[in-house]
Amino acid sequence: MSKRDLKKYLADLTKEQLEELLIELYEKFSPVKVYYDFVFNPKEDKLLQESKVKISHEYFPIKKPGAKWRPKAKMRRSVAQKIIKHFISLGVDSFVIADLMLYNIEIAQTYSSQNFIKQELFYKSILNSFEQAVTFSISNGILNEYKSRIEGIYKETLQQKWKNKYEFEAILDKIDL
The pLDDT value given to residue 63: 76
Amino acid at site 101: M
Sign of CA pseudo-dihedral 82, 85, 87, 90: negative
Distance CA 28, CA 9 (A): 20
Task: Report the b/e string of 85-104 with b at 16+ CB within 10 A.
Answer: eebeebebebebbbbbbbbb
Per-residue pLDDT tens, the chain, 177 aa: give them. Answer: 899 999 999 899 999 999 999 999 989 998 888 888 888 878 888 889 999 999 999 999 987 777 777 788 899 989 999 999 999 999 999 999 999 999 999 999 999 999 999 999 999 999 999 999 999 999 999 999 999 999 999 999 999 999 999 999 999 998 875
Sign of the C-alpha dihedral, residues 101, 173, 149, 41? negative
Least Cα distance to 102 among 71, 135, 62 occurs for 135
Residue 111 to residue 40: CA distance in whole angstroms: 37
CA dihedral 121, 50, 73, 77 (to 10 degrees): -10
The answer to whether 137 and 113 are in contact (CB under 8 A) is: no
pTM over 0.85: no
pLDDT of res. 97:
97
Q: Which H or E element spans position 6?
A: helix 3-11
Report whether 98 contacts 136 (CB < 8 A). yes
